[in-house]
Chain A
Amino acid sequence: MPKNNLFAPGAYDPTHRHHDHAHHHHSHCGLCRIELENISVTSGGETLLQDVYMHIHCGQLTALVGPNGAGKTTLIRALLSQIPYSGAIHHIDDRERPLRTVRTGYVPQQLPFDKQMPVTVTDFIAASLTNRPVWTGIGRKTRQQVQEALALAQAEKLANRQLGQLSGGELQRVLLAMALTPTPDLLILDEPVSGVDQNGLMLFLDTVEQLKHSRHMAILLVSHDWSLVSRYADQMVLLNKSILCAGTPETVFACETFREAFPASAKEGK
């Protein structure tokens, strides 16, 4: 599996990750990897994360696994700078220089919301793309952008459907389309499994895998589905407050700590 060296020296062209794409509206150098160094998070005297040290590489899908309450969501919130943490998160570009900012696309866990809301998929995505309030209507340019976003997640047909009427898998695609627009450097998929059938999930992750190659994104996937993880993940990290085991999925599945954390699934597996 090629890792950091995918970027040729000619890669200073700020748009090099987007050859195949018509839009070059953001101009930063390519992210190469994200380094988490001694990340600790405490809340109300309780340690949620302790000295987490991990790398997330571009062009790779890193699976984050761990028992309930292991701090997976906390880690994601730290990555999104939504909570205070100690330690450092470095974004390193392909010339080993630090990057000030990276774009993060986030596909959240599906939360309950009002399914009767008269809001279409186009309304919802447009709300994230423009400042023009969507109740005044949606301009042609924005509509076009929404279509392009949906196309990335193979969800063009959902544009005029109401958000609350989508199936779990369809909503997943819409959320992916949003996370991909504008093109992120890091894509975080927070347990996209819940409420989606196995077929829909494979289709979803196939799309993600294609993007991983074509856009050379770093992808972090939180999942408990071992068959999916072993099929799609390049790297795997077992977290329980701190990192217990990391490496390729095979390495982690073989870890003593993994078998202790998930005794039942380890037996089923290998």
Chain B
Amino acid sequence: MSEQTTRPTPRPVTPRSRPRWATHVVLLIGGILMVFPFLWQINMSLSTQAEVTSVPPSWFPAKPQWSNYSAVFEQVPFFRQFLNTALVTIARVIGQLLLCALAGYAFARMRFPGKNILFALVLSILMVPYQIYLIPQYGVIQNLGLLNTIAGIAAPGVFSAFGTFLMRQHFLSMPASLEEAARLDGANPWQTFWRIMFPLSGPALSAVAILTALASWNDLMWPLIAATYEEKTTLAVGLTSMQGQFTTDYPVMMAASFLAMLPLMILFIVLQRRVVEGLAHSGMKG
């Protein structure tokens, strides 16, 4: 401490004078524990069934079994489910970006009777756990003839109160002068929105897109009930049916579950800052 106070620099580099190496040791151990399940998963996905079930455990495959990964595509309708998951996610992300931005803009910038009551009603959805909606949603999808379709799995998640809330907050924070200028040039509200406000909404749109993609890709409950056929469902559901009652090919199961997580992991590593910002928003949802 004494060297800190006698040093001529007015402000210490760090608020806390903690020994650096201790911080790094703790963070490294904690961090490795956090990712350990993924490392172990990769290890198992490249092992033989005998190695996976051996005691003591095998820490490295004697010979990496890359064939486990090709087996994934042969044994289960994995590719089909991968495609379904991707299509559902894309439909939801595009749908939400458009609908939530439009509605968020209306709630933030337009004047019409009953606006505040309507917005409060939309927000009230967030207070209600999703189990309340599930049975009737199933009925709606059934009546529309959309069970076992991409559209049916995607539909309820296209409409989001939380996305609307995020977009409204964003539009409220934008300066009014931009719109004034557009209006003076004779643009109608749609042109103002589409040409000026929407393109300036990058950060808010990316938060909505990332949260929707995560929720949609990883969702289990809704696809589980909205699609009953193996080739019509998503990866999350497909994985749960992979563990057979008596014989499960563990290495292939590990390879499949790793492949199922890979797209979002890559997204996270590439867009790290954006994803963390998006996740920070999800805390508000509660």
Does B bind A? Answer: no
What is B's interface to A at a CB cutoff of 8 Å?
none
What is A's interface to B at a CB cutoff of 8 Å?
none
